[in-house]
Structure 1
Amino acid sequence: MTKKICRWGFIGAAAIARKNWKAVRMSGNSVVAAVASRDVSRAEAFIHDCSLECPPVIEQEDEHPTLTRPLAIGDYQELIDRDDIDAVYIALPTSLRKKWVIAAAKAGKHVLCEKPVAVHGDDAEEMIQACREAGVGFMDGVMFDHSARLPELRRSLKDPDRFGTLRRIQTHFSFCGDDSFDQSNIRASAELEPHGCLGDLGWYCIRMSLWASGFQMPIAVAGRSIRTLDEGRVPSEFQGELRFEGDLSAGFFCSFHCVNQQTATLSGDRGYITIDDFVLPFVDAEVKWQTNTHDLQIHNCRWNFGRHSTSHAVKEHASGEPDSQEVRMIRNFAVDVLQNSHHIAPGSIHAADVALKTQRVLDALRRSDAEFGAWVSLEE
């Protein structure tokens, strides 16, 4: 009998895992079978809290769906070794991921890994290679990759009259940490999250730039930490530049010190596209963007800058519904697991290759930062 349900094991009880718990519940082809934490009581509390809002459903192959409580486990390897787990979602800090991704691969488990993937690109390559050798899939947890907005946005980018040729990509992702952020949040710890805001927020900016460029790698990058935490070892505010072949460039800013902002501007030689929520969509039943073809008309003493904007939208709930991007991510990955194909990704590019490209760009930006913002080549 063809398997219909992907059984998930969650490794780590991070806050983002709660969102993916609901995504599994809403996917229609997945269930959470177990949750592991180093402290079993934390795994128990995670399951209890999530179940209050979103009870898990285990769908029997020959019976009606039933409510079944996932197993709480106090050891990561014990979860990985279970025969009733098909895929693992790894929500551990970046510095801990390599060990457990490789362990999961060796146990024949498919891997959905939080971002940034690794401390270094060589580690990411080793992790991905372990998955390939084991014949299991690997994907990072960038939810917007799976939004229904991206294919339609691509159509806007291809419009020769209202957009033209892509010349510039500009992204901004920030939030303002509270007074205790520096001391209590793991994103301020060089030991746990050495890439700081660049890994936590800049990863999305890099990914959007790669997506808009058609997943071509930049030929060179430059970046600087504007502010740092943990004795200067963790970027908390970062700006970066990516230079691609031809006349295309990209820039981004990410910060733990600025107000919530998740904007992207894609500029062509005839028009430009604006997205106000490219990572986490605003609460709505639609996801939106604008195309702009403003013009400047000069007649002697009269200077008029004319606004010409068109709003676009696709039907997609922002979060927690069967059509939202995080649910599509879980569903798509589970389809890949159940069909044993391991190729789920934005567009036609392999998911693991997308993750590795993003990591390599991040690595180059860290090298540039260490060299006081010097351009670093990525050409082989």
Structure 2
Amino acid sequence: MAEHTKAIRFGIMGCAKAATKVSRAIKMSPNSTLYAIASRSLEKAQQFATENGYSDQQVVIYGSYSELLDDPLVDAVYMPLPTSLHLEWAVLDAEKKKHLLLEKPTALDATQLDRILEACRSNGVQFMDGSMWYHHPRTAKMKELLSDSKLFGQVKSIYSSSSYVGGQGFLENNVRIKADLDSLGALGDAGWYCVGGILWAMNNNLPTTVTALPSVVRNSDGVLLSCTASLHWEKEEIVATFFCSFLAHETMDLTISGSNGTLHLEDFIIPYEETSASFKYTSGAKFVDMHIGWNVKPEEVQVDTGELPQEARMVQELSRLIQGIKYSGRLPDQKWAEVSRVTQLVIDTVIRSINYGFEPVYIY
């Protein structure tokens, strides 16, 4: 086998629920393999392996995170730890020269994330966060449409939402509502996707100002359970709004309105089906006489996923980048670090706006 085709060996650090999906994705990706699983105890790591059908002959089981990082055969680490632990373990990961797939939100704030990214840069480590929807072929198809000035025109407004009802058990016990573990709450979890979707539509150009709206709900620990905010691009006169919540029915909406057309989908984070996905767009729409109807209906574009779902495509892309570094002497691709950083900056600015009494805050 040629060197550049050797599978990248992944270790999983932490047995959170998200690790089940990503471990499957690692197995499905043609250029990666699941090599090791680590938890805070050997028993927890073994339980995760057993529940997901991995025998001791298939994976190495570690009862501490340090053991995983010390294994010279681990090429990359997937890290779904609570956000409060990201800074410590992501920096240690980079210092051990392990490439990093870091679950979102990437850090408690941009200052922490910058320390993680600097550790990755200085150690030649490829960084990527776990936002899987970027890697779906539908996403590339949507970008193609948005780039068509005749069909779509210029972006004028964007709306995004990500919400689900956590339930009583979730709201009492889940990591994402604990201030000492994941203090960003719904903003860091569901809101990360909303902000990412908006910035993706804006080619990752930061807004001028961010304004949180007063419709904020917190739990007794001060963690955000629901919030809404708007982003304003002053020069372009573009406004985006998003809603994220642990208290509202399941939504994953993204609507982008342009001067000539509109793009809309209701499942942009997790497609309704794993094997295919679609979006709708309307171009050149007008009301008919007497305003009793439209002259066109939305067109639906269907995109086949192929053999790999978006999670496996994410792992495949990360592994491809790592192979280039490991076997061809390439430098880490900074694209994904920048995508995470601009998202984190907007999240930080939403929090500042909330703390400043819902005033507009200039981003920096």
1:375 aligns with 2:364: no
In structure 2, runs of 5+ residues without a counterpart are none
Q: What TM-score comes out, normalization by structure 2 length?
A: 0.93
* Contact in 2 for aligned 1:225/1:237 (Cα 8 Å): no
Aligned equivalents of 1:38, 1:226: Cα separation in 2: 38
CA 86–225 in structure 1, closer or farther in 2 if over 3 Å, else same: farther
1:266 aligns with 2:267: no
The equivalent residue for 2:288 is: 297
In structure 1, runs of 5+ residues without a counterpart are 57-66
The equivalent residue for 1:359 is: 344
Quote the offset at 1:224 in angstroms: 3.9
SS at match of 1:179: helix
Equivalent of 2:48 in 40, 46, 49: 46
Equivalent of 2:223 in 215, 230, 234: 234
* Contact in 2 for aligned 1:5/1:31 (Cα 8 Å): yes
SS at match of 1:23: helix
* Contact in 1 for aligned 2:219/2:225 (Cα 8 Å): no
Aligned equivalents of 2:308, 2:68: Cα separation in 1: 29
1:206 aligns with 2:195: yes
Equivalent of 1:94 in 79, 83, 90: 83
Aligned equivalents of 1:190, 1:14: Cα separation in 2: 18
CA 343–251 in structure 1, closer or farther in 2 if over 3 Å, else same: farther
Aligned equivalents of 2:110, 2:304: Cα separation in 1: 36
* Contact in 1 for aligned 2:156/2:257 (Cα 8 Å): yes
Equivalent of 2:314 in 329, 333, 337: 329
Quote the offset at 1:225 in angstroms: 6.2
* Contact in 2 for aligned 1:162/1:291 (Cα 8 Å): no
Quote the offset at 1:227 in angstroms: 4.2
SS at match of 2:269: coil
Displaced runs of 4 or more, over 4 A = none
Aligned equivalents of 2:9, 2:314: Cα separation in 1: 15
Quote the offset at 1:307 in angstroms: 4.3
For residues 1-380 of structure 1, the aligned pairs below 5 Å read 2-3=3-4, 4-51=6-53, 68-224=57-213, 226-231=215-220, 233-244=222-233, 245-293=235-283, 294-299=285-290, 303-316=292-305, 322-340=307-325, 341=330, 343=332, 350-379=335-364
The CA deviation string for residues 195-227 of structure 1, in whole angstroms up to 9 with x for no partner, is: 000000000011111110011111110114634
Q: Which moved more, 1:152-161 or 1:369-378?
A: 152-161
Aligned equivalents of 1:342, 1:145: Cα separation in 2: 22
SS at match of 1:156: helix
Aligned equivalents of 2:116, 2:83: Cα separation in 1: 13
Q: What TM-score comes out, normalization by structure 1 length?
A: 0.90
Aligned equivalents of 1:14, 1:22: Cα separation in 2: 14
Aligned equivalents of 1:160, 1:130: Cα separation in 2: 40
How many equivalent pairs are there? Answer: 356
Aligned equivalents of 2:357, 2:213: Cα separation in 1: 7
Aligned equivalents of 2:274, 2:128: Cα separation in 1: 27
CA 169–14 in structure 1, closer or farther in 2 if over 3 Å, else same: same
Quote the offset at 1:181 in angstroms: 1.9
Q: Which moved more, 1:241-250 or 1:120-129?
A: 241-250
Quote the offset at 1:123 in angstroms: 0.5
Aligned equivalents of 1:236, 1:157: Cα separation in 2: 32
Quote the offset at 1:235 in angstroms: 0.7
Quote the offset at 1:68 in angstroms: 3.5
Aligned equivalents of 2:309, 2:298: Cα separation in 1: 26
